[in-house]
Amino acid sequence: MSAALEVEDLLFAYGPRRVLDRVSLAIQKGEMIGVLGPNGSGKTTLLKILSGVLAARGAVRLAGRPIEAYSRNELSRIIAVVPQESEIHFPFTAAEIVLMARASHHERLALEGAADLDAARRSMAATDTESLADRWVHELSGGEKQRVMIARALAQEAEILLMDEPAAFLDLKHQLGVFDLMRRLNRERKLTVVAALHDLNLAALFFPRLVLLENGRIHRDGAPEEVLTEDTIRQVYGVEVRVERPEPQRRPHIFIRP
């Protein structure tokens, strides 16, 4: 069986700068993958190519078919994206933003039906955003807004969830909440999750497979204990750290040496 989402020999450059350089990656259905790497290593670009909004040299296949062969409408029902930042130029309530996820699910001249409202309610409950439903999105805090965006992605009811630093603006509690949610969606709804992450320790705790990018290339791809070692972190981030594997999970944990 072909992988859920697969890229082969990706090349992407902004002018002379190669952002992705011969990247190949096969994402199996139901996998949960954390993409790591320093700023500018190509994480965001990789996610944009995976979601089909950026075109690159090389092949991107969704369920074995080239991604260009899908219409935007079809894609949006298979892949949902939580972007790093969201533009809000006009006043919309959180509920309206979440319901926009349903645009590809109903007739474009129709208003949202019961199924759409239901999907929106469920995803807002899952992200602890029900109480924000009637508030203006541009008046929410960074963390609240981020959770609304996650709710929107869930309301798409897609099979693959791409997240670009989903916990970036969140406090400790909501950070854990988002990681926990990703794991629950992955286990209970069999959602394939690919997330660009910055927090190496949280990534190691929650993600069974990590991909470490360095200057647009895959430096290491595997289980957390293979990817997060003192050597790889020195090579990729240029930082000396101590890695331990505390009980009970025995996942690598990084200690910074000041």
Interface residue list for another protein (CB under 8 A): 48, 51-53, 71-73, 75-77, 79-81, 83, 86-93, 95-97, 99-101, 103-104, 108-109, 111-112, 117, 120-121, 124, 130, 133-134, 136, 138, 156
Comparing CB distances to another protein, the nearer of 120 and 200 is 120
| Cβ 174 to another protein shortest distance, Å | 21
Comparing CB distances to another protein, the nearer of 82 and 227 is 82
CA distances from 121 to 53, 66, 188 (A): 28, 33, 18
Of the candidates 12, 2, 88, which has an alpha carbon nearest to the alpha carbon of residue 47?
12
User: E strand or H helix at 197, and its extent?
Assistant: none
| Cβ 152 to another protein shortest distance, Å | 8
Q: Locate all alpha helices (DSSP H) within the chain, ordered by sequence.
A: 43-50, 72-78, 94-99, 114-126, 142-155, 172-188, 200-206, 224-227, 230-237
Comparing CB distances to another protein, the nearer of 9 and 85 is 85
| Cβ 231 to another protein shortest distance, Å | 36
Distance in angstroms (rounded) separating the CA atoms of residues 64 and 32: 19
Distance in angstroms (rounded) separating the CA atoms of residues 27 and 67: 14
Comparing CB distances to another protein, the nearer of 41 and 76 is 76
Comparing CB distances to another protein, the nearer of 51 and 192 is 51
| Cβ 205 to another protein shortest distance, Å | 28
Distance in angstroms (rounded) separating the CA atoms of residues 257 and 155: 42
User: E strand or H helix at 163, and its extent?
Assistant: strand 160-164
| Cβ 42 to another protein shortest distance, Å | 17
